[in-house]
Amino acid sequence: MGPKQQRGVATVEQVLDCALDLYAASGEAGVTVSAVTSASGVSAGSVYHHFGSLQGVLAAVAQRWLGRLLAELVAALEEAGDDTRRGIEAVVHDYLRFVTDHPDAARLMHSVATDREAMARGPELRSSQEARLAPLAAWLRDRQEAGDLVALPVPVLESLVLGPVTALARRWLSVGDIDLAEAARTVPQQIWWAVGNRP
């Protein structure tokens, strides 16, 4: 990577870090071009060059943290190996732990703004995370072929495993009336009953 590319990467990282700090302090309304340029020291022209728009900045922050979450979930599945039930439990535990460890990033990842972007650019965004999503899909397929998971399309299995956890995270982040530690103890069993191929 040449010096110009290195500067570009550093600029992107600086903007993403500052944008998350602004979002944490004031929500989506606090992430303005003026606030981003003031906090990061990056010119408005550079922000638009790298991200296209302010919404592009928020989308990039959400995608960055989604990538980190997916990397942690895949690592948990790799550690579980052929123990399917343990893998399902690990996904639930690690997702909820990630949310409690990084609440500001999790709030943006689960926000209306991120949902709007996902609805508008779903296939494109999914493609950008494909390298991180592929191992999750492969693990589900392998465990299904081994007879441990019900015979459903892999995208449906993925939704049955991650959907309830995502809903719990959203509820905790927005309302706060859920005990995530208790959920981590009880929800894996419920998900296992939904996806486990029990005799």
pLDDT at 97: 97
Q: What is the pLDDT of residue 80?
A: 94
DSSP 33-77: HHHHHHHH---HHHHHHHHSSHHHHHHHHHHHHHHHHHHHHHHHH
What is the 8-class DSSP label of residue 176? -
Task: Name the residue among 114, 119, 96 with its Cα closest to residue 179.
Answer: 96
Q: How far apart are CA 112 and CA 162, in angstroms?
A: 18
Backbone dihedral region of 176: left (phi > 0), alpha (psi from -120 to 50 degrees) or beta? Answer: left
Residues 6+ positions from 98 with CB-CB distance below 8 Å: 68, 69, 72, 106
Residues of the chain where predicted confidence (pLDDT) is lower than 70: 1-4, 6, 8, 122, 125, 199
For 68-115, the pLDDT digits (tens) are: 999 999 999 999 999 999 999 999 999 999 999 999 999 999 998 888
Question: CB-based contacts of 41: which residues, under 8 Å, 6+ apart?
Answer: 14
Q: What is the pTM of this model?
A: 0.89
Q: Which two tokens stand for residue 40?
A: 């990061």
Dihedral angle sign, alpha carbons of residues 190, 137, 148, 72: negative
Amino acid letter at 11? T
Q: How far apart are CA 196 and CA 143, in angstroms?
A: 10
